[in-house]
Structure formats: structure tokens, C-alpha cells
Structure 1
Amino acid sequence: MHLNKTIIATACIVAFALSNANAQAKHEDTEFYTPVPQKVTPGKITTEAPSDAVILFNGKNLDQWVMTDDRTQPAQWIVSDGILTVNKKTGNIETKQSFGNYQLHIEWRVPQNITGTGQARGNSGLFLASMGKGDLGYELQILDNYDNKTYTNGMAGSIYKQTSPLVNPSKKAGEWQSYDVIWTAPTFKADSSVNTPAKVTVLFNGVLVQNGFELKGPTQYVGPAAYRQAHGPLPVKLQAHGDKSEPVSFRNIWIRELTVL
């Protein structure tokens, strides 16, 4: 009985300390600007899905998607001419199906007439695992960074606020870009502590920008990332960021579930 009380008291102290630290933290605390990733000119995008892939967007409808904030509602983004475009009035969307380990291909485009600077220039996000309403989950950043300075762990190809891309293979606004992702989901022990952290490998326009990076936890805008909640397979989410710049578009989205031996 004494031992249980001690454990509970310790947990309360840790939770209070984390809450207090986050209350005093600023978003700038976890942003860094150097070193700046080297620019690389990418090659052509490969678009064809393999035979065992689940097609998440076929250019015709959003049958595989729902609204994140209310999963009973069908996704309400805009589909036109084979392209999916963010509808910032409705919020984020995520897949009906949940996934553990997977390979994912997605193509995205920032409008050619994009305005704004820094994080307000074609901002969206690919959440590799969505943890519910809003922007909860593990985010791979989407942003125009062809010639747009921002903190490097907030660039396109970054795991947002955790690590910068190895290089910067961004194309000009108005051109289609691609992410190819290998996602290894985190695993947890019986007490909900981390057993193995999430890992991700990302090719951005065919160029390696994340090489088996171990995530420190879900994305945090303010404060350091940490694993605070055990979970199993989760949906993939696309972000409607809500800034004043023109909305991002997507096409050719497919996924292959993987078994990690």
C-alpha cells in the first residue's frame, strides 16, 4: 500500500513539473536555424502504386477519409480534376483506416501564386500517425522551402520541431513534390512506457532527408516532445493549417502495410 502511494505521489510530482515547464515555455525554445540543409536538385517523381497498395486517394473521391474533429463526418476537402485541395474552413482530415508500420507515397503542391514568408507560406502537414482532434500526432512538415527561410526543424522534410532534413531538395512553388515514407510505429510496455520509439525514413522528391530517425514523441509546438500516451495503430492525417496563404493540394496517395520482423 505504501509503495503504491509513493508511486502515485511521484507521478503527480512529475506531471506537475511537466505542466509547469510547458506553461513557462515558448514555441521559440524548440526552434533552431543552423546548420542550414544544403540545397539539392531532385529528379522526376515516380507515381505508380504497387499492386498490394491501398489507394488512399484515387483522384475521384474521399471515400477513404473522414474529418479529424468528427470522425462520423465524411472528409469535406475539395476534389477537382484528380486533385485534392485543403479546405481550411473545415479542418484536418484523416484516414478511416488505422495503420501500424507502413510505406506511404504522397504528392503535394504549393500554389504558384503563394504569398507570405516563413511558416505562413504553403503550410500543411502529413501526420504519420494521428492522435485525435486538432494537430495531435507525429508530423512530417509540408511547406514551401525552395527560397523561404524559416527554422530548420520546421522546413519541408523535417519531423516538425524535432529534426531538420538532411538536405533541402525542394522544388519551386507550383511544381509537384513527393514524399516516400517508411514508418515504424512506436511500441509500449504494459505500464504504457515506451518499449521502442517510432522511427521514420523519408525520401523527399526521391532524395533521402530522414534516415531511420527515432522520434522523441508526438509533435509539440511548445516544449520538448515526449511519449506521454501509449497507443496502437492510428490513422494518417492531412493538416489544414489555417494560415492566410493559398491552400496546398495533394494527389497519388497510397500506402502499404508492413510487417517488421
Structure 2
Amino acid sequence: MAQEKQKTDAEKAAETEVWQPEPKMVTPGKTFADAPSDAIVLFDGKNLDSWQSVKDGGAAQWMVNNGAVTVKKGTGNIQTKQTFTDYQLHIEWRIPENITGSNQARGNSGVFLASTGKGDAGYELQVLDCYNNKTYVNGQTGSIYKQAIPLANACKKPGEWQTYDVIWTAPRFNDDGSLKSAARVTVFQNGVLLQNNFELKGETAWIGQPAYHKHGPCAIKLQDHGDPSEPISYRNIWVRPL
């Protein structure tokens, strides 16, 4: 009987090499903040064509000036016309330099990672000035509001632009409406990890406990909190569906 040829190390290594399917080619932006080639640009500083009013589904009424969009108090929340499931999100925001107030009334806004209905329905990533402002820790900057305390306070001074980079995994539901798998989120603020694959307990609740309600793909929503402090601005918003 012929002796079996002994495989070389290279042949053994080749047995565990995977060549297909090849990942798609994505051209990165010139900087970390710039949209890569496969991103959907939601706000480029020019107009709010990709957004609508949550109140009535009409045109978004926030103010666009100098490459930024600023909350126009009293006009309500705005959300994307397009809906998403899982995604990577980049968004930049600025607390006014002349901010006043304290606790939650100091530059309060929010990024709702999935807007599930009117008003503040959905899952909120808190926006707030916590550079030198104490508040309850599950409601400070970078918290998943009333659910997840951020791992750090990475706030810059009011008047400086700040960034959120988010990986959002949407919840899945069974046909009967029960939860199949919970939502998860990873959040970086200004390059600092705040939420590490946190498993959400449900939609944001100001009073009471969070809970899930069956939904499909959702818009991304920005909050007009309505407090008396100076309004928040946003810029350079893009998303990569995953």
C-alpha cells in the first residue's frame, strides 16, 4: 500500500483559509468624521430634505445656518424620512457657549436611535451639557436615557463641537409581538467608549420602566426638548445600514 503523502504546513494552513465571499469595497472618508463611500448622508449642512416633522409629517422646521441645523424651539422633533434597522451612525452636536440652566435644563436634546411613534416614542441616546453640570447619572450625556449609565464623561466645553459614533442593532420580534432579541448599542463620544454593546430593556420611558412594543424599521429622530436653555445644533450626520 502506498504511503500517504504527508501535508506540508502550508497545505495544512490552506485548509482553514476562506476566500469567498469577499467583503465589499468601501472607500473611507478623508478623516474619521467624513462619510465613507457607502454612507447615506442625512444632513450635509445645506438643507433638511431628508427630514420631516414628527408632529404632522410635513417639512422639518428647524433652522439651517452655517452648515448646521439648530433646534427651533416649539416646532417639535424631527426625524428622517427613511427608515433603518441596523446601522452605523455618525452625528456631531454642539451645546451653545452661552448655555444657562442646570441639571436636565442645560442643553437638553436627544438622538432617538429608532423612532417608534409620535413625540418621544423610541430609544433615546441623551444629549446634554455635562461638562460642569451634575444630574442623575442615568440621564447624563451619553446615557441610554433612564437605562444605561455611560462608562465615562467625555464632554467638551459648551461651544465646542462633539461627536457621537453609534452602532445600533435593532430589536427583533416574534409574530405574536413578543421579543425575540433585544436591541443593542455601542456608543463613542469624542472617541471615548460610553456604551459597550449594551442590551436595552425597552423603549425610553421618562416615568416608569422601559418596555418593548413590536415594530419594524424606524426613522432616526432628533429631539426638541422644549426647555428654556439655548437650543442645540447638529451637523455632519450620516448613516451606514448594516
Q: Structure 1 length as normaliser, TM-score?
A: 0.80
Matched with 2:126 is 141
Q: Percent identity?
A: 64
**Structure 1 or 2: more helix by fraction:** 1
CA RMSD, Structure 1 to Structure 2 (Å) = 0.8
Matched with 1:75 is 60
Secondary structure of 1:168's aligned partner: coil
Amino acid of the residue matched to residue 60 of structure 1?
K
1:145-224 alignment to 2 at 5 Å? 145-224=130-209
Contact 1:109 1:249 in 2 (8 A): yes
Match of 1:57 among 43, 62, 71: 43
Do residues 119 (structure 1) and 110 (structure 2) align?
A: no
1:89-108 alignment to 2 at 5 Å? 89-108=74-93
CA distance in 1, matches of 2:73, 2:80: 17
CA distance in 2, matches of 1:216, 1:141: 16
Residue-by-residue CA offset, 1:74-128 (whole Å, 9 max, x unaligned): 1110001111000112100000000000000000000000000000000000000
Contact 1:56 1:253 in 2 (8 A): yes
CA distance in 1, matches of 2:50, 2:104: 29
After TM superposition, the runs of 4+ consecutive aligned structure 1 residues lying more than 4 A away are none
Secondary structure of 1:183's aligned partner: strand
Residue-by-residue CA offset, 1:196-237 (whole Å, 9 max, x unaligned): 00000000111100000000000000001111x201100000
Matched with 1:4 is none
Amino acid of the residue matched to residue 109 of structure 1?
R
Secondary structure of 2:138's aligned partner: helix
CA distance in 2, matches of 1:256, 1:69: 26
Match of 1:48 among 34, 43, 46: 34
Matched with 1:13 is none
CA distance in 1, matches of 2:43, 2:129: 22
CA distance in 1, matches of 2:73, 2:60: 12
CA distance in 1, matches of 2:85, 2:144: 18
Number of residues of Structure 1 aligned to a counterpart in Structure 2:
212
CA distance in 1, matches of 2:140, 2:35: 27
Indicate the structure (1 or 2) with the bigger Cα radius of gyration.
2
Gaps of 5+ in 1: 1-44
Matched with 1:5 is none
Residue 69 of structure 1: how far off its partner (Å): 1.4
Residue 131 of structure 1: how far off its partner (Å): 1.2
CA distance in 2, matches of 1:46, 1:101: 20
Amino acid of the residue matched to residue 233 of structure 1?
P
CA distance in 2, matches of 1:97, 1:70: 16
Do residues 237 (structure 1) and 221 (structure 2) align?
A: yes
Do residues 88 (structure 1) and 73 (structure 2) align?
A: yes
